Amino acid sequence: MMRLVAALSAAAFAFLAAAPAASAMNIEKIVSPSGIEAWLVREQAVPLVALNYAFRGGSSQDPAEKAGAATLAASLLDEGAGDLDAKAFQERMESRAIELSFQVGRDEFHGSLRALNENREEAFDLLRLALTAPRFDAEAVERMRRQTIAGLQRETSNPNNIASRRWWQTAFPNHPYGRESKGTLESVPTIAVADLRDYVRRVFARNELTISIVGDVDAKTAGELIDRAFAKLPAKNDLKPVADAKPAGLGRRIVVNLDVPQAVLTFGGQGIARNDPDFMAGYIINHILGGGSFSSRLYKEVREKRGLAYGVSNNLVWFKNAAIVMGGTATRADRTGETLSIIEAETRRMAEEGPTADELAAAKSYLKGAYALSLDTSSKIASQLTQIQIDRLGIDYMQRRSAMIDAVTLDDAKRVAKRLFGGGMLVTVVGRPKGLESTPE
């Protein structure tokens, strides 16, 4: 086992040096014998295969009263499938250094696989069992349910979780995006095995399946592996419609009292859809304001100049039916009002004035250069390719991305800054912030 783990680690290390640059990456569109489409990047430097895939239909497909069903189902897919119980399934993966993972987003169910070439056929067989014949044995269901409930109980006293949950509930009331993907202390105990099977039946299908493969594998073999895992799935899913939505409560501030040393702030407003022509300009503008780098305006004003917080950032977030810009920070209770005032002032200033020419040039340079960091392993490349397919950006997006960034002018940036940050924010604050109170609904 240790030799297998060491081999997999060495292969991953080797790929760090061998990973092709985005501009030089050759992405092939392939079709499996059963007709399933996928994107393939051949990388012969290391003897492994990395698979990333997504089914349309994430936690937004949970019944309103059964929030958390998708997440609970995901936690159980490798806890027994077919004729393998949980122990046998896990031992089969461990003995061959096979990695399977499953995650639930609001719009998609995501999964990944990584295995050495010598074990890839068995890895894809195990994935097929997990997707087509999950057991949902009573012992495993109750064990994972207890773990989920324990986590939710811990979150009831976690200011970050409280602030985030309250923000989403307020921004998207009576909408699937406003529900907690992990469920609640009320909903998780009510989820039955029938609910888990219903989710799998409705979501795991071939018609809205997105697949990316990276590794030492040719197109023919990749197609055969795809069919090995996915060909036996139903042809068509059965998804519930999800309505388009915009965040509500903009301009509101909600304060939740909690006896903790710091106050946590979550803030956000209307974003820009991924297929909007203004998206790239919005992406650059958001980076300048608070996109996570040490050069952002919010970082400089809140952290560097005043030492009010360890970090502060905001990001563009987009779904199939909504788009938001969302950020957060944590600060001392007695300086929460000051911190929030600075964030709001810098957001208004960006909306009114936009960026400077120097800020725009620096952001463009950073965003073009930093992209390579998301492509430094086979698994990261596969994940990026899947997201590019979901967003329908085109198979040549990696080659076009730098030119798209360069094409954003200062006038574009100023116009989009007003559009992105001129509509107000919904703010949730958790802690004992002095001088801050909730504003009327």
Q: What is the pLDDT of residue 294?
A: 83
Domain coordinates in residue numbering, the chain: 2-230, 253-431
pLDDT at 12: 43
Amino acid, single-letter form, for residue 301:
E
Q: Percent of the chain, pLDDT > 90?
A: 90
Report pLDDT for 22. Answer: 61
Residue 313 predicted with pLDDT over 70 = yes
CB-based burial label for 217 (10 Å; 0-12, 13-18, 19+)? buried
**pLDDT higher than threshold 50 for residue 157:** yes
Instruction: Please compute the mean of the pLDDT values over residues 239-244 and round it to a whole number.
Output: 97
Question: For residue 4, what pLDDT is reported?
Answer: 40
pLDDT tier, 21 (very low <50, low <70, confident <90, very high otherwise): low
Q: Using a pLDDT cut of 70, give the percent of the chain over it.
A: 94
Look at 7-11, 98-102, 282-286, 400-404 and tell me which has the smallest mean pLDDT. Answer: 7-11
Question: What is the Cα–Cα distance from 431 to 414, expressed in whole angstroms?
Answer: 35
Q: Do domains 2-230 and 253-431 have the same CATH topology?
A: yes
Rounded Cα gap, residues 378 and 44, in angstroms: 11
Query: Is 138 in contact with 403 (CB distance < 8 Å)?
Result: no
Residue 7 has pLDDT above 70, yes or no: no
CA atoms of 347 and 327, how far apart (whole Å)? 11
Distances in Å between the alpha carbon of 11 and those of 5, 82, 93, 303? 10, 31, 18, 40
Q: Is the pLDDT of residue 222 over 50?
A: yes
Between CA 419 and CA 429, with CA 423 as vertex, the angle to 5 degrees is 130
Instruction: Using CB atoms within 10 Å of the CB of residue 25, give its burial: 0 to 12 exposed, 13 to 18 middle, 19+ buried.
Output: middle
Residue 8 pLDDT grade (very low, low, confident, very high; cuts 50, 70, 90): very low
Distance CA 416, CA 177 (A): 25
Pick from 355, 266, 256: nearest CA to 313: 266
Can you identify the CATH homologous superfamily of domain 2-230?
Metalloenzyme, LuxS/M16 peptidase-like (3.30.830.10)
Q: Is the pLDDT of residue 205 over 60?
A: yes
How much is the mean pLDDT over the chain? 93
The whole-number pLDDT of residue 440 equals 87
When the candidates are 3.30.830.10, 3.90.1410.10, 3.30.300.340, 2.40.30.10, the CATH number that belongs to 253-431 is 3.30.830.10
